[in-house]
Amino acid sequence: MTPSNRELGNDLSQVEMEDKDIAARRLHMYSDKTLEIGFTIDQMFVSHTEFKEGLAGLDRIFQLSTKVDMPHGLRLIGPPGAGKTTLLKYFQQSLPRSSLFAEGLGAVYMRIPMRVTTPYMIASLLRQYGYPFRRITWDTLEQRITVLLDAIRQKGTRLIMIDEAHNLAPSLARRKPTREEGTSPTDFVRLLIDEARVGVVFSGVSLLDDFAEVDEALASRVVGCHRLTMFNYDSAWLRLIKGFVLQSQKMDIQVFLDRDVGQRLYKTTQGNLRSLKRLMTEMVLVAAESGADSVRPEHLHAAYGLVYGAAFQKGNPFEAAVA
């Protein structure tokens, strides 16, 4: 090996060692103990007025869906990060055990992608009932629908919650489906409501406001509407922050009750619940990894940099908190 090649080899070896170091840091940035502490914040449910109202709406549909012949449904509308998915999952996880429905299947949650198809929806639901159908063809569609309807009835499912339901909208504007296109997703949802006698919740953004214009028949079955909005900086925001503080048992996060910190949290997140939980979780992770038993101003500053990146144009609002 020539000197130049030997030098090149040494340089490459150094680069490989640095890459390994970076990979190790990525894998072990936080210890398991730290992640356990941070996970408690990530999994918190803090009730507030709109959350309670939405929960009451879900409870009502859950109770009535199998008791009356009239179809019942609800549209849960709000911007991304307002807490729609959190509400649905909280409802599902908080259902008490009952002999009337199988555990974990009283209410079924499903998120649908853009350009969703009926086979996708059927396969997604069937997997939750233990049927491992990864691919459903148009030739087997009717058979799989029959299996699904039977499973819903046998397990006692009362509510099907469809997240990102605004993604149904593109399918609604299509021409009458051909054999190749099959039954439209909205026809399939109507079938679930009418044949399985389940309540349906559509969760999504404001596109759901115009649902009746594109599928009047389905809209007549899903008539209820509840909204989740971004928080304003008012007493509701302060109660939300306090709710997190009171629930935190593994890390002292009293610093969030400081008026200046609360204002900076609001300015950063703009009242978005998802953004708030993301930032608070990272702040707790940074504090726990440092060995602290409480979140301090320097942890706020460091966590913001990790979440938003050093190049984020708005600058770090917790800079002054460290100074």
Per-residue 3-state assignment (H helix, E strand, C coil) for 242-281: HHHHHHCCCCECHHHHCHHHHHHHHHHHCCCHHHHHHHHH
* Degrees, nearest 5: CA angle 268-272-278: 75
Query: Measured between alpha carbons, how far is 10 from 29 in angstroms, rounded to an integer?
Result: 28
For range 263-275, the mean pLDDT: 94
pLDDT exceeds cutoff 70 at 193: yes
* % residues pLDDT > 70 (the chain): 84
Ordered by start, the domain boundaries in the chain are: 65-227, 231-314+317-321
147-156, 234-243, 308-317: segment of lowest average pLDDT = 308-317
Between 15 and 168, the more confident residue is 168
pLDDT exceeds cutoff 90 at 239: yes
pLDDT digits (tens, 9 = 90+) for 150-165: 999 999 999 999 999 9
| pLDDT-derived band at 210, boundaries 50, 70, 90 | confident
pLDDT digits (tens, 9 = 90+) for 7-38: 434 444 444 555 555 445 445 678 889 999 99
Longest CA span, the chain: 86
Q: What is the CATH number of domain 65-227?
A: 3.40.50.300
Q: What is the pLDDT of residue 175?
A: 42
Tell me the Ramachandran region of residue 238: left when phi exceeds 0, alpha when psi lies from -120 to 50, beta otherwise.
alpha
